Structure 1
Amino acid sequence: MRLSPKVYTWLCGLFASLGSIIFGYDLGVIAGVLSATDFIDTMGSRFSDPNLEGLITSIFLLGCFAGMFPVAYFADFLGRRKTIQVGALVYMLGGALQTGARSIDMMWAGRFFAGFGVGIMADLAPLYQAEIAHPSIRGRLTTLQQFMLGIGAFAASWITYGTSAGLKHTQAEWRIPLGVQIIPAIPLIAFILLLPESPRWLAEKGRLDEATRTLARLHAHGNVDDPFVVSQIEDIKAEIQRSKEIGSASWGELFTIPSNFRRVSLGFILQFSVQMTGVSAIQYYSTTIFTTMGFSATRVLLFQSINSIIALIGEACCVLWVDNTGRRLPLIVGNVVSGLSFVVGSILMARWPGTVDNNAAHYIFISTTWIFNFFFSSCIGPLSWAYPAEIYSTRTRAKATALTSSASWLSNFFIAQVTPVAFTHIGWKYYLVFAICGHTNALFVWAFFPETTGRRLEEMDALFTDAPLFIAHTSYAKRQDRYAVLLVILPLNLNTCSSHLVEKELREGIFICSSCSESLILHLSYRNLRPWGSF
């Protein structure tokens, strides 16, 4: 029995996001490694310098940032799959250097190369997923990035907890967790080329027949005459023709064309704002934060392991429901709740620090962290990758996502460097930064971010050209009705048919081929009255 197209496409996107497991694992493993006594001894006397210790964490993010700009060229020249493969190879080099590190210098090198590889994979996975996805499940595919990241963090937290509890004061306590990170890269390197290439990239390179076959393979059991396949390839060809009239894509047009600059700005701000929720401060320095509340390092690792389970639940909720909730609402709600959780956390840290004997207050503090993590994982984290990946045209997508992703690494680096110094000098007041930013993030999304749910990638140019700057209370703030049914009971010529209805058909899986204009076409739904994307 053949897989249905939606399941096959979803599985392709799932495999491509193996790189996100690597990303999540690396984020989750470092907190446990930094506190291992043998690791501290191996790194030498320079490790006692807080700035050099912080560099072990932050140089990974500099590597991610460095990987952003080559990826724009590699993705357009080599294709999406081969570039992901290159990123996995570079990451394996970095993982091997970390695992065998004999000094802090070797550790820095390993972290940088690992970050370089992660930067490539983290940028390309959601881009590839967006380009192969049907509009009705694009949100579910692109948010897999954060779900797989959560799986990596989950594995890292429990592995570091286990080695900390069972292999304490040995090299294995930290070398085993660092070595395990290499494993997910192996199948990614070995099998990524078995996946279909992005049909939009193939078409951009003039390989239209191959692009058509790939679309048919993804969405129609290989039927190149399927209405959706025909309609999509016509859409893609029209976009390519417009691109040819404009000329080859350049970095400059991202800043000189108003709709492009608007999208780059929104993507950059979104990625930067994610780190200002406080997520990285908790990820990297949870041991430091929680020990100030009176908990032991091993107990903190247990809390982080439980936290990783909560994150997975939140990420699964996002994958399941994001195409129903839209993009704006989860981002607004998630940021408000994250801001409130840091308000409560600030009060608890100020009034009942670890030096005060009040276990109830300390465990409430842990609970606020878990609440924050659930809403971040279900609302903010996944959409910070999904939204930028879907708002650009094919010709600019690789370059634009490289720019917007760089905001994540820059802000991540900033938080990683500043956090230990800030906690040393201002303590609980540092939490107020994240309490404020959570609410300002929500306000900005409410005011300026158009809703993209249900729209085709080829619609994004028009969306960001036509939508007003202030989005709130306009039709552009509302998601499209995924369950609308088009009834056509008289012969139509598509040249005279409402473009709004035609676009709705394409979004909903109710497809009218652009070449079929001479007769009646009736599609109550593409799949027996159920949207194509329904599971």
Structure 2
Amino acid sequence: MALPPKVYTFLCACFAAMGAMLYGYDLGVISYVLEAPDFNKTMGTDDPDYIGFIVSSMLLGAFVGSIPASLIADYFSRRVAITAAGGVFIVGGVLQTACQNKETMMAGRFFAGIGIGMLGNSEIIKLIFRCLAHPSARGMLTATFQFFLGIGAIVAGWIAYGLAQTHKEAPIAWRLPLALQMAPALPLLLLSFTLPESPRWLMIKGREADALRALARLHAQGNENDPLVQGEFAVMKEKVEEEALQSQSWSALFVDKTNARKVLYGIILQFSVQMTGVSAIQYYAASVYKSVGFSSNTALLINSINNINALFGELLCILFVDKIGRRFPLIWGNVLAGSCFAVATALAKQFYVGTGSRGMGIGFVAVLYVYNLAFSACIGPLSWIYPVEMFNTAVRAKATSLTTMAAWIANFMIGQVSPKAFDDIHWKYYLVFTICGFTNALTFWALFPETKGRTLEEMDSYFRETHWFVPLSKQRNISSREREVQLAQGQTDVVVHHPTASEDAEKALHQGGYQHEEVSRFTPLR
């Protein structure tokens, strides 16, 4: 019996999201590795600059890996890019596991970073998510990426924490956790060609029959005559033909004002994520919690529990992002993040001046738990959902590589400067994240329009027609299912659908029996 279309696409997303586990595992494991006595003995240094570069060299590699990812994806397909990235990551994992000095460790982190830049946290997998997803489930499907990232962090944390309890002084305490990071890369290296190819990529390559077949396989159990499939195919074909007349070079990202605006938004969004403090807390969790009175062992336990807390937030995003949208969570998630760090800053200061208490330490942990929940539900997943939604097929891989490079540069900066900042300015470092939480929220309120429910093909016209100062815009929000209903009715132009699409309407898509209500056809949606 064939799986329902949305179940099938979700399972495809889960397989591809193992790439996110690579990054999540690496993100989660490094704070435990830094606390292993044998690791520090092998590295032969406690210089905060060296420690920072051991952490951030992976991020520098990810920055380097972002451009090859887009080139391979454009010329050879998304699936080939996944296979190549998995191979590079395994090379890096082997170097880290077998390293005998800090130089080899940095090289291993760098190569693993290249693989992650191409795969785990690059846009290749998220491009696949966008291209495979139903319009009404695009946000949910892409949020799965962040969910698997959280799973990777949890697995890494609890394995490393367990080994720290049983083999704290032994090399296995850090070598085994580093070796296990290669496990998710193996199926991606060997089995990525079991994924369906992107219908939009097939269309660009002139393989229209294959594109239709892929759409039918993804969205209608192979039925090429399904109304939704036919509607999607017609819109996709029209858009690809339109884009074929446009420049697809790198310069097209900056010459065209709409593309340039969207690239700027993507870069702003990715930088804003790191300026909430998430990486500083994750990479240096042991130091953060030890600074408020906890032992090294308890600090690692606190971080392991916090990873579970984050996974719950990511699950909330999966469940509600296509109902609530993108704009509201980005604004209020950052307000909450800034508020949490304001409290955390005040509590951390008490420990610096010597007046901190056990209760204050617990309060510090509690507000960081609230922060991590808000980040995981509202900020982290949206930083990957929003950028790729904005761009058209012709420039999407290139544009998202640029926005991802911004993420890696910001991440590299935080990873490199945080040890020195914690040593030199102590609790005052948290003020940066406090201020940025509120300025992020203001930026999103002013500049970022809602993209929920809109098709990938209409994003160019939508951004052209939306005032740059969003509160002055007259665009209305639409329901997550509205476009699917319109496509199934054959309304391939952007339309206004007055009654919001309902559960009954979605069921009718595959029955071909949706009844016409008050629909103004071919009226531009403003």
> How far, CA to CA, are the matches of 2:424 and 2:495 in structure 1?
60
Q: Deviations over 1:146-180 (max 9, x none)?
A: 10100000111111111111111100010011011
2:98 — aligned with what? 100
- Classify the secondary structure of the residue corresponding to 1:159: helix
1:467 — aligned with what? 466
Conserved? CA contact 2:66–2:404, under 8 Å:
yes
> How far, CA to CA, are the matches of 1:26 and 1:486 in structure 2?
38
Percent identity, aligned pairs only?
45
Conserved? CA contact 1:263–1:392, under 8 Å:
yes
Task: Answer yes or no: is 1:452 the counterpart of 2:443.
Answer: no
Counterpart code for 2:194: L
State the shift of 1:524 in Å.
4.4
1:130 — aligned with what? 130
State the shift of 1:501 in Å.
3.9
Conserved? CA contact 1:24–1:148, under 8 Å:
yes
2:212 — aligned with what? 212
State the shift of 1:351 in Å.
2.1
1:500 — aligned with what? 496
Task: Answer yes or no: is 1:406 the counterpart of 2:397.
Answer: no
Conserved? CA contact 2:485–2:506, under 8 Å:
no
Task: Answer yes or no: is 1:75 the counterpart of 2:73.
Answer: yes
After TM superposition, the structure 1 stretch with the greater mean CA deviation from structure 2, 394-403 or 350-359, is: 350-359
> How far, CA to CA, are the matches of 1:3 and 1:463 in structure 2?
34
- Classify the secondary structure of the residue corresponding to 1:472: helix
2:514 — aligned with what? 523
Conserved? CA contact 1:28–1:153, under 8 Å:
yes
Counterpart code for 2:359: A
Conserved? CA contact 1:502–1:512, under 8 Å:
no
2:365 — aligned with what? 366
Conserved? CA contact 1:341–1:371, under 8 Å:
yes
State the shift of 1:49 in Å.
2.0
Task: Answer yes or no: is 1:155 the counterpart of 2:158.
Answer: no
State the shift of 1:245 in Å.
1.7
Conserved? CA contact 1:339–1:435, under 8 Å:
yes
2:519 — aligned with what? none
2:287 — aligned with what? 288
2:83 — aligned with what? 85
State the shift of 1:48 in Å.
2.3
Point out where structure 1 has 5 or more consecutive residues left out of the alignment: 514-520, 526-535
Counterpart code for 1:72: S
> How far, CA to CA, are the matches of 2:195 and 2:86 in structure 1?
16
When the two chains are superposed, the root-mean-square deviation of aligned CA atoms in Å is: 2.4
Point out where structure 2 has 5 or more consecutive residues left out of the alignment: 517-526
1:34 — aligned with what? 34
Q: Deviations over 1:378-417 (max 9, x none)?
A: 0000010111111100110000000001111001111111
2:109 — aligned with what? 111
Counterpart code for 1:499: V
After TM superposition, the structure 1 stretch with the greater mean CA deviation from structure 2, 210-219 or 357-366, is: 357-366
Conserved? CA contact 2:215–2:229, under 8 Å:
yes
TM-score, normalization: structure 1? 0.91
Conserved? CA contact 1:326–1:479, under 8 Å:
no
State the shift of 1:470 in Å.
0.7
Conserved? CA contact 2:279–2:415, under 8 Å:
yes
Conserved? CA contact 1:135–1:455, under 8 Å:
yes
> How far, CA to CA, are the matches of 2:226 and 2:104 in structure 1?
55
Counterpart code for 1:104: K
State the shift of 1:316 in Å.
0.5
- Classify the secondary structure of the residue corresponding to 2:381: helix
> How far, CA to CA, are the matches of 2:118 and 2:501 in structure 1?
35
> How far, CA to CA, are the matches of 2:362 and 2:229 in structure 1?
54
> How far, CA to CA, are the matches of 1:284 and 1:8 in structure 2?
35
Conserved? CA contact 1:291–1:354, under 8 Å:
no
2:347 — aligned with what? 348
Counterpart code for 1:73: L
Task: Answer yes or no: is 1:190 the counterpart of 2:190.
Answer: yes
1:530 — aligned with what? none
Quickly say closer, same or farther: Cα 1:48–1:203, change in 2 above 3 A.
same
After TM superposition, the structure 1 stretch with the greater mean CA deviation from structure 2, 499-508 or 50-59, is: 499-508
2:520 — aligned with what? none
1:54 — aligned with what? 52
Conserved? CA contact 1:486–1:510, under 8 Å:
no
Pairing of 1:292-307 with structure 2 (within 5 A): 292-307=291-306
Counterpart code for 2:97: T
Counterpart code for 1:229: V
Aligned length, in residue pairs: 510
After TM superposition, the structure 1 stretch with the greater mean CA deviation from structure 2, 300-309 or 231-240, is: 231-240
> How far, CA to CA, are the matches of 1:502 and 1:227 in structure 2?
20
Q: Deviations over 1:36-80 (max 9, x none)?
A: 110111112xx2222111110010000000001111110001101
Conserved? CA contact 2:454–2:480, under 8 Å:
no
2:522 — aligned with what? none
> How far, CA to CA, are the matches of 2:484 and 2:202 in structure 1?
32
1:389 — aligned with what? 388
Conserved? CA contact 1:90–1:114, under 8 Å:
yes
Q: Deviations over 1:250-284 (max 9, x none)?
A: 11111110110011000110001000000010011
> How far, CA to CA, are the matches of 2:515 and 2:20 in structure 1?
38
State the shift of 1:241 in Å.
1.2
> How far, CA to CA, are the matches of 2:500 and 2:459 in structure 1?
14
Task: Answer yes or no: is 1:252 the counterpart of 2:248.
Answer: no
> How far, CA to CA, are the matches of 1:91 and 1:280 in structure 2?
21
Task: Answer yes or no: is 1:234 the counterpart of 2:234.
Answer: yes
Q: Deviations over 1:456-489 (max 9, x none)?
A: 110111111111101126443x53124669999x
> How far, CA to CA, are the matches of 2:300 and 2:200 in structure 1?
44
Quickly say closer, same or farther: Cα 1:238–1:465, change in 2 above 3 A.
same
1:65 — aligned with what? 63
Quickly say closer, same or farther: Cα 1:493–1:275, change in 2 above 3 A.
closer
